[in-house]
Structure 1
């Protein structure tokens, strides 16, 4: 009987299994599908010479995650690749809102739409840099994030306070109109909010648009070299090296609990 059974060999399950194995636990991962990965997979069925990511395809939160960084997956074959620019929103009149990993690059593209919009972007980035350490810790530590949440609340008081808190729950369409005079900045915020499957009028979409935009500004939207599944291959290889077991084609129908323990 292993110390822990992880149900599902998607990225979250494999990260959890690796962290437990690092703590000396014996771990077994059960996956219903014939291969691990969940929504992080690729294949070559379109053309043998073309690698196609099947579901998710870029990973800013993986690049930002201190947990993933601590696994040192580069030792197990994972390499990240960045496009020359993070993303772009071209318009039919030839203008283009560009998110680059260089702050000046992004700001310059937004000033084309309206003078001063580059400085508005810099202000959003300034707030991000002030909140980033505690915000990321809150995202990547067990829930509820008590310590990081308390520090984040303190930082909010000095980083725009109520205005920033309001922005996090504001619909992204309204946030864009309040922050930018031109279309460029609004396009970057709204386009990034849509990655969270939130409509531009949805409450909270402003916060997600800001978060995804700032992640892209700081970490880019990297992709694993060789396809999305390279991330999963590195996680699985690392787990097996630490004695973990990964079994695919194994459906879990229920969890049996006896005397407060899953058996």
Structure 2
């Protein structure tokens, strides 16, 4: 679905090749400054760089902007709510063109309900707390590519989407991402919570110092020895029932 051929950004991300198949949730992990945000911006098409990126076999630069927005959505890491508008108007800016009004209304209601925003739709963006604003941003980017209103959507790029979210809101986002990927679409998620990645990701890309150092199945990449070298922290894997958890070793 997404193919990368020697993709990089000069001075920030060394070129590498890879691919993401349809229906997968892929997590992008690594220490601060590893190049995760740079890679997401490059894959979104807003940051120029080296190599070729193909979405469904088509070069990314061959997509006109409005068409690219129908195929992929991108949530950057930080974006202040500078616009003086209510939440429902901000969401309307992200709705796909030509959508049935009833289907659009149902989808907005569903996303708002899942992310606990139903009572925030008339509130001004500048009146939102940090967590509320993050949930509004998530609802907007999901609306852009949600299957019920956008049959052309394929890819969701999320840079640290759980920022400012509490535990219940993280669980709600997990459910929405699982539903999105189960529809045959894919998500590439920049994450810092390694145990969350261990439980939720289908595959993992591990970056360090601007290079992709490992890529593969989750348990393969989330190897304590490999992670210890990259993060300079001693990890060990703890089994609890059918689940595994990464723990740090203390002296």
Q: Same fold (TM over 0.5)?
A: no
TM-score (ref. length: structure 2)? 0.28
TM-score (ref. length: structure 1)? 0.27
- Which is richer in strand? 2
- Which is richer in helix? 1
Structure possessing the higher radius of gyration over alpha carbons? 1
Structure of greater relative contact order (alpha carbons < 8 Å, 6+ residues apart): 1
